[in-house]
Amino acid sequence: MNGKYRFVIMIMIVFITIINYADRGAISYAQADIIEEFGLDVKAWGAILGYFGYGYMFGALFGGILADKKGPKFVWLLVAAFWSIFEIGTAFAGNIGLMLFGGSALVGFALFRVLFGLAEGPIFATMNRTMANWAAPKEKAFAVSMGFLGGPVGALLTAPIAVGLISLGGWKFMFIFLGLLGVVWCVIWARMFTNRPEDHPKVSKEELAEIRSTEGLLKNETTLVQAEQARVPWYHFFKNPTLVFNSLAYFAFQYVNFLILTWTPKYLQDTFGFQLSSLWYLGMVPWIGACFTVLLGGYLSDYLRRKTGNLRIARSSLAFVSLLLTAICFTLIPTVNSVGAVLTLMAIGNAFNYLPANIYWTVVIDTEPSKAGTFGGVTHFIANTATIIAPTFTGVLVANSGYTAMFAAAAIVAGMGMLAMLFVKPGRNNQNNLETDQDSLPNSI
């Protein structure tokens, strides 16, 4: 890609997010073997899935801060190496619990899931900092959507990869193999990535000028260089309603996303009696549409920005409509009875859910690019309470009220996210207040 090296970087980020999602979703396909081997029930299984979120939340928060302080390359290599190690360790987590934690396999899985989540947490905040450094203003949303493409593609491929690896060597072999893939990516990434395009020999002067261009900027947009001239205090996030409500809408996305990722295999087995051998293709269905809409959403958002000159239309309105359609699809799922109809509605609903996936992160770049990592991390921290709530709460709902309640809860949460987007106004809308904060706290972060 002569003169377009930034897209090579984006493609490599797609690869690692595919690995990332496969790593976190693979455990769902090992659930039958793990539950049988260690004598777990449905609530305990829901808790195991939810433990990931405790680490993930804090990893997202501190990973974003670290990406701004130390640079994204340091964080990429650190976290990808550690989550790969903990992915491998998950193969032995139950036995470690039995040996070291009073005979409790559950505690062993809890430990490794928390550590695994802590290591995976920084990925999207670090990606956001990377895109703030490497993407041209005119392509911000599409660049972020490129990074997010690895999510649905990884989830789509998790089913055949996990089922194939389990069939080949058992569930423990699956975790070991996936962990080693992350290590290989780290070795390649260390040789080809720099924190900024200015530092990379393969980035031409022409490409760098395109990345740093101010042409076509809207009146409430700013470049990374301009934003870095102002020191923004960390607490400014909580003084900006746009950033707060954006994170609540992202929570809704993450709830639906993680619900599908963690509970689809068990739902299909319990409700329709499918065996593991059938899940390799059935588990792919809910993710097919999302693989296309995640990129389409980035393209549409950038297109609307160019055509309307209005970031609120380009970001907030698109997300509002998408979450509304997501809520409608999940409301309809309990009204159908066939597996084909259920999977079709799940696929359509998830496709709409992923259409604005880039927007929650692009809003942060629009509003404060100099803190894309830190504020992205705070956004992710708030949103990732869903990675605990969705699987854990679903376990309680399923145990007490069945799977109908699971889909009803997803529809309600999507509706709440839709309403939150009404209050999101991307861009430097509070510039005067921000300057006041800077003057009063010149040594803030």
Taking only the tens place, the pLDDT of each residue in 4-53 is 899 999 999 999 999 998 998 899 889 889 999 999 888 888 889 889 88
Listing DSSP states for 220-261 in one string gives: T---HHHHHTSPPPTTHHHH-HHHHHHHHHHHHHHHHHHHHH
- Whether 329 is in a domain gets the answer yes
User: Distance between CA 26 and CA 165 in Å, rounded?
Assistant: 10
pTM above 0.85, yes or no: no
Query: For 273-291, what is each residue's pLDDT tens digit?
Result: 887 777 778 888 899 999 9
pLDDT at 371: 79
- Which parts of 273-402 fold into alpha helices (H)? 276-282, 288-308, 311, 318-332, 339-354, 359-367, 372-383, 386-401
Query: Domain tally for the chain?
Result: 1
The series of mean pLDDT values per 10 residues for the chain, 445 residues long, is 81 93 90 91 85 88 87 95 96 94 91 95 89 85 86 87 94 96 95 94 92 75 55 80 96 92 84 79 88 93 91 94 97 92 95 94 85 84 88 88 92 97 82 40 31
> Which residue is associated with the tokens 């559950």?
106
Residues 6+ apart with CB under 8 A from 36: none
The answer to whether the CB of 422 falls within 8 A of the CB of 316 is yes
- Whether 161 is in a domain gets the answer yes
- Whether 227 is in a domain gets the answer no
- Whether 31 is in a domain gets the answer yes
pLDDT at 225: 53
Q: What is the CATH number of the domain that holds 37?
A: 1.20.1250.20
User: Distance between CA 407 and CA 397 in Å, rounded?
Assistant: 10
Domain that holds residue 54: 5-211+237-432
- Whether 51 is in a domain gets the answer yes
- Whether 229 is in a domain gets the answer no
Q: Exposed/middle/buried for 176, CB within 10 Å: 0-12, 13-18, 19+?
A: middle
Residues 6+ apart with CB under 8 A from 419: none
pLDDT at 132: 84
- Whether 377 is in a domain gets the answer yes
- Whether 219 is in a domain gets the answer no
